[in-house]
Structure formats: C-alpha cells, structure tokens
Amino acid sequence: MTVLRDTRIAAAALITLTALFAMFAAPATAQDKQPEPESEPKWSIAIHGGAGTIRREDTTPEQVAQYEAALQKALDEGAAILAEGGTSMDAIKAAIVLMEDEPLFNAGRGAVFTWEGENELDASIMDGRDRSAGAVAGVKSIKNPILLADEVRTDSPHVFLSGAGAEQFANEKGLETAPPEWFATEARRQSLERMKADALSALDVDLKFGTVGAVALDQDGNLAAGTSTGGMTGKRWGRIGDAPVIGAGTYADNRSCALSATGWGEYFIRVGVAHEICARLRMEVSGWTVYAPADEEIDLEAYAVNRAQDIADSVMAEVKELGGDGGIILVTHTGDALFSFNTAGMYRGRATSEGVNEVAIFGGEESEEASETPDH
C-alpha cells in the first residue's frame, strides 16, 4: 500500500509540474516566435520612346542628353504614382501624356506627317484586371490621344473608334483639343519633304519608330499597358499600324504580362506580337518547374524572368524573320521589367520598387537584369 501511495503521489506531482511548466512555458514560446515580416508590395514600370537605327556615332551628346532627360521625366512621373500606391492605369497614362507632349517623340506633339501633310494620331490602352481596352486611330485634333483611348475603354460600349467618329466622341467627353500647329514640328516636315523629293520610303527617312508606350504593375498586383503614335512618315490611304491594335501593339493581362510595342507595324500586326508574348507567358506561369531537372533546386523567380525574356526574344525573332523590326517593353505579373528589340537601339527606361531606375538609348546599356535580343 505504501508503494502504491508513493507512486500516486509521484504521478500527481509529475502532472502538477507538467501543468506548471506548460503554463509558464507557453507564453514564453509565443513571445519567442516572432511572425515573419510581410514582404513589401511590389511595383514596376517600363517606358519606351521608339526603336530603330539609333547609333551612338550618329547622335550628338546634346541629343542624347535631351532624350535621356525626357525619358527620365516620364519614368519618374509614373514611378512616383506607383510608389505612392496609385494604380498602374494612372501611372502609364501620366507617363504617356508627358511623352505625347514632348516633340522629340513621334506621338501627339511631334508626330510625323502623312503624305497630305497632316498629323494623324493613334493610341490604345488596356487594363490587365478585366482586359477592358480602348483604342483610337486617325484623330487629328486630340491633344492627348491616350486619354481618348481610355475614355473609349471606360465610357463607351466599344473598343476601337476612328477618324471623325472618334473626334466627335472626344468632343462629347470634353477632352482637350489642339490646333494643327500644336502637333507640327519643322523636323518632321523636313522628313516628309525629303521623302517626296528623293522618292524615298518611310523607312529611309524614319531612322526610328518614335511610338511611345508604358507598361506597369501596381502594388495591388494589377497590370496596365498603353501605346501612342503618329505612325509612319508619308503614310497614305488612312494607314493604321500596330499601336492602336489591341493584341498587336498593346496588351495587358494580370495572369501574365503588360506589353507595349514599337516598330514596323505591319509585321507586328501579322505576328500579333503583344498578345502572342503574353499568351505564351501565361501558358507557362503554372508550369515553370516542369522545365527544371527533377533533382535540382532552382530559383523560380530568376527562372521566370529568364523564361519571359526568352519568350519575348523568340517572338521578336519571328518579326525579324518576316522582315520587320522594332522592339517591346514588358512587365510581368511578378513585377519584372524587361525589354526586347532587334534594332540598333530603343529609347527606353524602367523603374521598380526594388530600387532600379534607369533610362537607355543604345543597345547593351542596361544593368544585367535587363537584356535585349541576342543580335544586340
């Protein structure tokens, strides 16, 4: 009986000690286990001001400084909106409006002339959240065509308006207009005159495709893309290039990417460049690990960037094979800002929440995180 009693006392004491330990230890364990810090929301933006035969030896230091300053101003405007928690749509519109107002670029003010000596403007915009889109072509008096494209997206039952109808819609919405002299610049007029006098093609006088564009990812994970252009010098018969064509010059889908293109529009339309790249990327989003060896651990984020770059370069190679040239800017759904072009240069820039902020003109100028097509 004594042994049994001692055993019961010992057992009771053990239970008591266990309870006391749990009572005092539990709070300490909870205090010691700190919650993992939440990662900061990511944002990124990329812009372009055209691609083409842009070589350092053909450009003065003053011209380089002018273009870099204009690109930086537009990039900073969009980046500031994103850093403050603004939407990707607001960021790209702000950046593009500045470039439309800058006569250095072939969009809005500074647009090239048609054969008849007029400025005809095209633009498109797309929201990656719901794939809503708006586009306009052949407008002549709208100060900022990208804003008209957005009105079509948000306040009309349509996606694409052109010519007089688009102008009428703009007037009904109260968008700012400008007289012909606002858009006209002497340098563009001389290009048209040289083209006519020497029986040149548009490619002979347009050493670059000055289309402007912007793509962005905001802190809520939403993508947006926009593109604006004056087209090609001496264009005739109401010619429309890829810039206002959703899927060719502009595309955005939260599941994959936002993209804006610049280049020889006829080829970008035939390849469907913007949609083609985003669609290929979307098909791989859920299966990036499939391409990795089963017995190796990989950095999925770095792998995803490489795959996005490979896809963009591959599609741009298709454009080149057909005879076209130009470039694209791309922001992935994970916030990577990339470029791809098959020309000597492209006016471009990018900024991210991780501290990247750079503009470039000639091939091979970016830091290692950004790359171009293998030819440059």
With respect to residue 75, please indicate whether it lies within any of the assigned structural domains.
yes
More confident residue, 372 or 101: 101
Exposure class string for 3-17: b at 16+ Cβ within 10 A, else e: eeeeeeeeeeeeeee
Rounded CA-CA distance 158/133 in Å is: 9
pLDDT of 219: 98
Lowest-pLDDT range of 175-179, 279-283, 289-293 = 289-293
Least confident range from 62-66, 145-149, 225-229: namely 62-66
Quick check: is 247 in a domain? yes
* Domain annotation covers residue 232: yes
Mean pLDDT throughout 34-45?
Answer: 75
Instruction: Confirm whether 288 is domain-assigned.
Output: yes
Number of domains in the chain: 1
Q: What is the mean pLDDT of residues 101-115?
A: 94
Q: Report if residue 17 sits inside a domain.
A: no
Length of the chain: 376
156-176 average pLDDT score: 98
Whole-number Cα distances in Å, 305 to 88, 332, 335, 344:
20, 8, 10, 23
Parent domain of 303: 44-110+203-362
Rounded distance between C-alpha atoms, residue 126 and residue 104, angstroms: 25
What are the structure tokens assigned to 283, written together? 């098909």
- Banded pLDDT at 75 (limits 50, 70, 90): very high
Q: Is 289 a catalytic residue?
A: no
More confident: 71 or 203: 71
In this prediction, what percent of the chain has a pLDDT beyond 70? 78
pLDDT higher than threshold 60 for residue 228: yes
Identify the pLDDT of residue 293.
53
Q: Record the tokens describing residue 325, joined without a space.
A: 């040239």
Least confident of 49-58, 89-98, 127-136, 357-366: 49-58
Q: Out of 1-10, 57-66, 246-255, pick the least confident.
A: 1-10
Q: Is residue 168 a part of any domain in this protein?
A: no
For 335-345, write each residue's pLDDT tens digit. 999 999 998 89
For the cut 60, the answer to whether the pLDDT of residue 25 exceeds it is no
The CATH number of whichever domain residue 286 belongs to comes to 3.60.20.30
pLDDT of residue 303: 65
In this prediction, residue 363 has a pLDDT band, given cuts at 50, 70 and 90, of confident
pLDDT at 178: 97
Please tell me the predicted confidence (pLDDT) of residue 297: 59
pLDDT score at 19:
45
At how many degrees (to 10) do helices 300-322 and 273-285 cross? 150
Integer angstrom CA distances of residue 206 from 50, 117, 191, 192, 195: 11, 16, 8, 10, 10
Per-residue model confidence (pLDDT) at position 147:
98
Residue of 87, 114, 185, 211 with catalytic role = 211
pLDDT at 51: 87
Query: Which token pair is 357?
Result: 């902020």
| Residue 136 domain-assigned (yes or no) | no
pLDDT of residue 55: 77
Residue 72 covered by a domain: yes
Quick one: average pLDDT of 191-204? 74
pLDDT tens digit string along 294-323? 555 556 566 667 889 999 999 999 999 999
